Amino acid sequence: MSLDNLGCRELDVAPNEALKLFQLGAATAPSPLSRALVEYHCALALGLGGLAEQALAALRRARDTYQAASDEPRPWKHFATALPHIAGLTHLALGRFDRAAVAFAATGDGPSHTATCTIYHLSYLATAQLRCGELRSGLLTATRAIGLAKRLRSVSVRHNLGTRRVRIWLASWRRCAVRRDSGRPPGRHG
């Protein structure tokens, strides 16, 4: 198992530990494209740790590394969509919802090699769209994610994504839309 894979396993529970693995992985990466992927993961770990300036600098480095390796063959079919997806996750972690929405939208349906990847990608895109105020787009994207999730038999997807969680998003954003349309200020209203 590579250092990048080990770091990905640590991201949710220990971003600082994941960052150490990613940094070591970047230093020992066998190719520029491998290094670019690990650098994108470094940016995400920094973003999850709340280190905005460092995360954005890491995203710039990762993008530069990726662009410098434009002549290399891609390691897998959907590699080019995985990188902006990770950038979107980084922006989402930093609360830069407009940039997250742009990054997720740039990937089309995202790393769509499996329905599960598409569902997660759409749920992140919907979150970014809703959080930056794009209510119509966010609701449409969330509805697509729910529709795909309902067709799957995967218990883990239903558990992790949870149509209940998406319904909560939809309900809360509908309340915000109603308040906005009624002239009441958005925000936390019990």
Average pLDDT score over residue span 29-45: 90
Distance (Å, rounded) from C-alpha 118 to C-alpha 108?
A: 10
pLDDT digits (tens, 9 = 90+) for 125-140: 999 999 999 999 999 9
Average pLDDT score over residue span 34-45: 92
Buried b (16+ CB within 10 A) or exposed e, 65-75: bbeebeeeeee
Choose between 4 and 108: higher pLDDT.
4
Q: What is the pLDDT of residue 190?
A: 33
Other C-beta atoms lying within 10 Å of the C-beta of residue 91: 25
Report percent pLDDT > 70 for the chain.
77
Q: What is the pLDDT of residue 87?
A: 94
Structure confidence at residue 158 as a pLDDT band (50, 70, 90) = low
- This prediction has a pTM of 0.77
Per-position DSSP letters for 89-106, written without gaps between them:
HHHHHTT-HHHHHHHHHH
Q: What is the pLDDT of residue 52?
A: 92
Average pLDDT score over residue span 8-21: 82
106 has a pLDDT exceeding 90 = no
Domain boundaries along the sequence of the chain: 1-75, 76-190
pLDDT digits (tens, 9 = 90+) for 108-118: 655 555 777 78
Average pLDDT score over residue span 100-104: 92
Choose between 75 and 103: higher pLDDT.
103
Q: What is the pLDDT of residue 147?
A: 86
Q: What is the pLDDT of residue 148?
A: 84
Q: Rounded to 10 degrees, what is the CA torsion of 103, 30, 10, 166? A: 30
Mean pLDDT of the chain: 79
Are 145 and 169 contacting, i.e. CB atoms less than 8 angstroms apart? Answer: no
Structure confidence at residue 75 as a pLDDT band (50, 70, 90) = confident
40 has a pLDDT exceeding 50 = yes
Q: What is the pLDDT of residue 185?
A: 44
